[in-house]
Each structure stands twice: as structure tokens, then as C-alpha cells.
């Protein structure tokens, strides 16, 4: 083989590797966007934010998560906690639907 042919073969290999990288990155981005806009990832983010918020409260360690859901009437996620010893329930509201990072409501501190 000639030197020029070796360089052409290496260029072809590099181009296919670059195309494969672009395809993989595009597939991962599409998968992330599908999970985000199907409310799977925002719901998990809302759970994590509310658990972090409630664990910083004085009695937060005593609560356990019951469930969480999105409320279209309030345009936010609600995460429900329960205190096992006296069946006390506490609700945390987290704004916004696609960026759930702001705790705006805690039933323990209404108002």
C-alpha cells in the first residue's frame, strides 16, 4: 500500500467514528428529552427536592414519602409525606412542571 492510501483509510475510519459519536449523542439527547417531557424525570427531581427540603426541617427525618403527582390545577407537583407514629400527613408543593426546583408550599407552614 502507498502512504496516501493509508491516510485515506485512516480518514474513512475517523469519519465513521465521528458519525457514530454524533449518532450516540443524538440518541442520548432524544432519550433524555423524551423522559423529561413525559414527566418521568421531573417527578423524580420533585421527589428529590422535597426530600431534601423536609430533611432540613426539625422533625423532617420522621417523615416518609407516600407518593407524588402532578396537579394541573395548581401547575405544580405535590409530594406527600406521612409520620408513622401518629398518622400525621404533610404535603410539599413544588413549582414548575418542567423545572421543579422551587418549594412554594408546605402544609406544615400554611400561608
Structural domain includes residue 35: no
Task: Respond yes or no on whether the N-terminal peptide bond of residue 96 is cis (omega within 30° of 0).
Answer: yes
HSE-CB for 46 with a 13 A CA cutoff: 29
Structural domain includes residue 92: yes
Asked if the model's pLDDT at residue 6 lies above 60, the reply is no
- With a CB cutoff of 8 Å and minimum separation 6, the contacts of 101 are 45, 49, 94
Q: Whole domain around residue 69: which residue ranges?
A: 40-106
Domain count, the chain: 1
Structural domain includes residue 1: no
- C-alpha cell recorded at residue 7: 491516510
Structural domain includes residue 66: yes
What rounded mean pLDDT belongs to the chain? 81
Give the closest residue to 65 by CA, choosing from 38, 44, 85, 83. 83
Structural domain includes residue 21: no
For the entire predicted model, the pTM comes to: 0.72
Question: Is residue 7 very low, low, confident or very high in pLDDT (cuts 50, 70, 90)?
Answer: low
Structural domain includes residue 64: yes
Amino acid at each position: 500500500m502507498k502512504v496516501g492510501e493509508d491516510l485515506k483509510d485512516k480518514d474513512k475510519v475517523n469519519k465513521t467514528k465521528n458519525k457514530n459519536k454524533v449518532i450516540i449523542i443524538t440518541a442520548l439527547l432524544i432519550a433524555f428529552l423524551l423522559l423529561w417531557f413525559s414527566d418521568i424525570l421531573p417527578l423524580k427531581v420533585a421527589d428529590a427536592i422535597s426530600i431534601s427540603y423536609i430533611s432540613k426541617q426539625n422533625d423532617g427525618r420522621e417523615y416518609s414519602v407516600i407518593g407524588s403527582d402532578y396537579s394541573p390545577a395548581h401547575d405544580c407537583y405535590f409530594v406527600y409525606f406521612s409520620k408513622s407514629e401518629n398518622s400525621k400527613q404533610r404535603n410539599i408543593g413544588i413549582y414548575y412542571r418542567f423545572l421543579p426546583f422551587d418549594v412554594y408550599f408546605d402544609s406544615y407552614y400554611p400561608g
